Chain A
Amino acid sequence: AQSVTQLGSHVSVSEGALVLLRCNYSSSVPPYLFWYVQYPNQGLQLLLKYTSAATLVKGINGFEAEFKKSETSFHLTKPSAHMSDAAEYFCAVRYGGATNKLIFGTGTLLAVQP
């Protein structure tokens, strides 16, 4: 079955520290990959997406992610955390063909300490 695994339901970093949020997908065929951010009581906002072009994808707010086929991973990073980055982050996959739905991971709640 198609699935997405996010390691670490809670991640805490200090302001200015590196942010690393992990995402692994299950598939032998590279899917489309996305990272979304969700602030409390809000919908989801797209951070970045991978659609088989460059393996290093840059997104909004200084985030980037690298697609690694050999590791079936799409980890999200940001060199320096800001207080405003505190939110929940979801990795999602969309497989090609007739399936248009997104399959989401369970999310990682990022806390940023001053």
Chain B
Amino acid sequence: DTGVSQDPRHKITKRGQNVTFRCDPISEHNRLYWYRQTLGQGPEFLTYFQNEAQLEKSRLLSDRFSAERPKGSFSTLEIQRTEQGDSAMYLCASSLGGGGTMSEAFFGQGTRLTVV
């Protein structure tokens, strides 16, 4: 396994268009996270899945954002009607957890979104 994989690495879109990003976690990891990072800031939590269940969503995740993890493996993050403020690096992370255990989160290289 080569780690967490994100596709695409870069995306330029026009304002108002929809975009979808994909994340493939480390294969045995049951937990998957999406974060957003803007220039000069640390990553901010967006949402969290345990297997296929979306267990937590940040207030940052407006109605235009939707995330899925249909079979508990890969995940997609869709942004509808993109705005310039959506320009950021979108990071995916995965970890193995449950039963009182906590392992560290492994991050992908991110998808950099530019809305023009």
Contacts and interface: CB of A to CB of B under 8 A. Distances in A.
Contacts of B97: 100
Interface string A1-26: 00010000100000000000000000
Given A43-B110, A44-B91, A101 B42 contact: no
A58 interface: no
Nearest to A104: B42
A21 to B, nearest CB: 13
Contacts of B40: 9, 106-107
A51 B43 contact: no
Contacts of A45: 107
A90 B106 CA distance: 14
Nearest to A46: B104
Nearest to A99: B56
B43 to A, nearest CB: 5
B48 interface: yes
SS class, residues of chain B in contact with chain A: strand
B45 A32 contact: no
Contacts of A46: 104-106
A102 B102 contact: no
A102 B105 contact: yes
A51 B41 CA distance: 25
Given A100-B56, A102-B105, A90 B42 contact: yes
Contacts of A9: 40
Interface of B: 4, 6, 31, 33, 35, 40-45, 48, 50, 55-56, 58, 91, 93, 95, 97, 102, 104-110, 112
Given A49-B104, A102-B43, A104-B42, 6 more contacts: A41-B110, A43-B108, A44-B107, A46-B106, A100-B31, A102-B105
